[in-house]
Structure 1
Amino acid sequence: MTNEPRARARSPFTSRLLRPAVGAAAVLAATVAFAAPAVAHRQSDPADPLTTVTGHVRGNGDIFVTPTSAAGTGNGAQIVDKQGRTVWFHQAAPGTVDADFRTQTLNGKPVLTFWEGTGFGGLSNGTDYIYSDHYKLIAKVHAGDGLTTDGHEFLLGEHGTAYVLSYDTATADLTSIGGPSDQTVIDGIVQKIDIRTGKVLFSWNSADHVPYGQSEQPLPASASTPWDWFHVNAVHVDTDGKLLIDARDTWTAYKVDPRNGHIVWQLGGKASSFSLVAADGQSLNNAGKIFAWQHDINGHGHGIYTVFDNESAGTGNTGQDASSELDHSRVVTISLNTRQRRATLVQSDDEPDGQLAPSQGNGQRLRNGDVFIGWGALNAVSEFNRHGGIVWDARFPTGTNTYRAYLLPWKGDRRS
């Protein structure tokens, strides 16, 4: 795969009640200096974040969220039990937000991981944190090569490693796609980091592998306005060890060989490796795609993948002046036939009130076959059974949302 001709140089930029929709711009923090997270707050410090709960959680574990509001009160990383009661809460530092909070395994032990920083959703800058099961800080992780650390994904790998994301600006010649010769662009970067040493073990830059012409994000009016053409928001490890990299602004999920960075296949977008079809009872969007402006691709083996399908973004991913290719967001389940090069939409778990989430969101397949969904910019979290029926639904206060939501087993200290 070859890119269009371009000239690139580092830029000087360094950086079921109806639910009210919340644009991404409403939850972005100002770019200010921030301190390292404090130790855990006691259970009684924060308010329980879920104000309305319907049904019962069927999956196993506690709920992990990062409540975020424009007001900044209550921003942080929070564990709540199935009844919506707070187990543990970390208050984000003033002027910052937290993202991608969950439990993972490091060196065989359960840990808590999250990102905290500024500018989330754009040219963000922060730190990835690892806490013990006694809520003690044990490691900080940053992107290497002088890059800032983005908050969309912090994934622990094998042998004391972690995958992190970064957004970096450059100058590109876009005359081949009708743009200026000196457009400031925002490239998406995936790195694998040795947690102990900080050494970069793998680095993948979208501009080296994907043509700018694959972007669905319109060019800005000025060449000096950074064009977020790729917007990487997820990196996961597929069942065969290869990487799944999601790019919101190309409407594409990429399978990448971690040995050399080569793209194995592309799902969706302008250059899909697969024909896109819908099974009986399912529907493609108005553009003939399975998803658009999406987040969070996950592989489940046997050719099955899930994606959070936003179907809406708005100018520069702000949620403002948003258009859509479908009238609601959903989590889609896709069956890939790599031999026949066909991708089939086999199930859709639709937003219960028929609304669009213009930013954020994730879908987690549980061991019992249910799907646990954080509805991103909408102030809600849901669980669906394997047949697509909703079994549990909860809401944050108006104006508060969570980037992702997870249901995960947690045996950490419940007294701190």
Structure 2
Amino acid sequence: AGTFATDFRTQTYLGKPVLTWFQGGGNGGGEDVIYNDRYQQIATVKPANGYLPDFHEFLITPWNTALILADTIGTANLTSLGLSAHQQVIDGVVQEIDIKTGKLLFQWDSAGHVPYSDSYGPLPQRGMPWDWFHINAVHLDTDSNLLISSRFTWTVYKVNLRTGAIMWQLGGKHSTFTIKAAPGQKLDNAGEIFAFQHDPEALGGNVYTVFDDESDGQAEFSFSRAVTISLNLAAHTATLIKSVNQPEGLTAAATGNAQTTRNGDLFVSWGGLSYFSEFSPTGKLLFNAKLPDGVSTYRGYRLPWNPGS
């Protein structure tokens, strides 16, 4: 009772197609699971160091390890932000786990690399921990370093997978890049490319897609969209070069993703709105549908699957 599953998708493990998802309950427990193409469970992944599992990500790397997220509660002196000298904080953690052995290979934590003052997150009620960072994605860039998304700092961080150092940060209060919009494109009402975002994906050539929620359920700047961003590392500029808007002009209070398909289309799950859409490379709406009322999805994918005989 109370068990849920999320981020259901196909991946590749040990050279073979597999089904993966997170499954957990309401008590902070949970695990990531891998099933083969005969629907047999072949592996389970859990966080190391006793951390609480986070359902937002379970990514199998090309070298057959797992990138997962976890949460841990720490304490910080946040009197400068009007909070307690012993304020409890929820810190976001990335772990790389050896799938076969469960051994921890790499760990990165938000508190060790990002100032609490970078957060746009709503301050907590007295006695409650502050969800200041809210980590919601870790992906691989084309050079095999990490792309980490923080919903409440409005930032995507590129992180060195060997050292944990931040290589650049896109968006938020301390962006490495000056934000620009190409002709025909518009920044949001806060002058940013995205806010409360999810799912940064590398397309190559320093071009990235991001699902731009534009909402946390309380503050809304404009409607949700999927954005394509080109980075000029030498000039330190980030240019919004393409965007597709939520067809009904709605905002997703949370979740969502944007997947570039093999033929160059963009498949978008609008998160808590329960809609999903597909757009051509020129931004033409090809498909739009909505799940039944009361049903929502964390992410949506369009992926091939051929079960074994």
* TM-score normalised by the chain length of structure 1: 0.73
Could you tell me which of 263, 278, 300 is aligned with 2:203? 300
Do structure 1's residue 354 and structure 2's residue 249 form an aligned pair?
Answer: yes
Offset at residue 346 of structure 1 (A): 0.7
**Contact 1:160-1:196 within 8 A present in 2 as well:** no
Offset at residue 176 of structure 1 (A): 2.7
Measured in 2, the distance between the counterparts of 1:228 and 1:251 equals: 14
Q: 1:169 to 1:401 in 2, by over 3 A?
A: same
**Contact 1:236-1:298 within 8 A present in 2 as well:** yes
Measured in 2, the distance between the counterparts of 1:349 and 1:370 equals: 11
Deviation by residue 1:33-53 (Cα, 9 ceiling, x = unmatched): xxxxxxxxxxxxxxxxxxxxx
Could you tell me which of 252, 258, 271 is aligned with 2:161? 258
Match of 1:154 in 2: 58
Amino acid at match of 1:240: D
Aligned length: 309
Match of 2:3 in 1: 96
SS at match of 1:382: strand
Deviation by residue 1:121-168 (Cα, 9 ceiling, x = unmatched): xx8431100000011111110000111211100000133310110011
Amino acid at match of 2:10: T
Match of 1:105 in 2: 12
Offset at residue 178 of structure 1 (A): 2.9
SS at match of 1:407: coil
Match of 1:370 in 2: 265
Offset at residue 221 of structure 1 (A): 2.7
Match of 1:143 in 2: 47
Match of 1:242 in 2: 145
SS at match of 1:100: strand
SS at match of 1:207: helix
Match of 1:172 in 2: 76
Amino acid at match of 1:108: G
**Contact 1:310-1:357 within 8 A present in 2 as well:** yes
Q: 1:240 to 1:171 in 2, by over 3 A?
A: same
Could you tell me which of 22, 27, 52 is aligned with 1:115? 22
Match of 1:343 in 2: 238
Offset at residue 269 of structure 1 (A): 0.3
Offset at residue 226 of structure 1 (A): 1.4
Amino acid at match of 1:250: T
Amino acid at match of 2:203: H
Amino acid at match of 2:105: L
Deviation by residue 1:364-408 (Cα, 9 ceiling, x = unmatched): 011211100111001111101111111011211001011000011
Amino acid at match of 1:384: F
Measured in 1, the distance between the counterparts of 2:29 and 2:164 equals: 25
Match of 1:276 in 2: 179
Do structure 1's residue 412 and structure 2's residue 307 form an aligned pair?
Answer: yes
Q: 1:375 to 1:124 in 2, by over 3 A?
A: farther
Measured in 1, the distance between the counterparts of 2:118 and 2:147 equals: 18
Measured in 2, the distance between the counterparts of 1:217 and 1:407 equals: 32
Offset at residue 184 of structure 1 (A): 1.1
Unmatched 5+ stretches in structure 1:
1-93, 314-318
SS at match of 2:200: strand
Give the structure with the larger strand fraction: 2
Measured in 1, the distance between the counterparts of 2:92 and 2:232 equals: 28
Unmatched 5+ stretches in structure 2:
none
SS at match of 2:264: coil
Match of 1:82 in 2: none
Offset at residue 103 of structure 1 (A): 0.6
Offset at residue 110 of structure 1 (A): 0.5
Pairwise CA RMSD: 1.2
Higher relative contact order (CA 8 A, sep 6+): 1
SS at match of 1:102: strand
Offset at residue 177 of structure 1 (A): 2.7
Matches within 5 A, 1:5-154: 94-119=1-26, 124-154=28-58
Deviation by residue 1:175-204 (Cα, 9 ceiling, x = unmatched): 233322111110000000001110000000
Measured in 2, the distance between the counterparts of 1:200 and 1:237 equals: 18
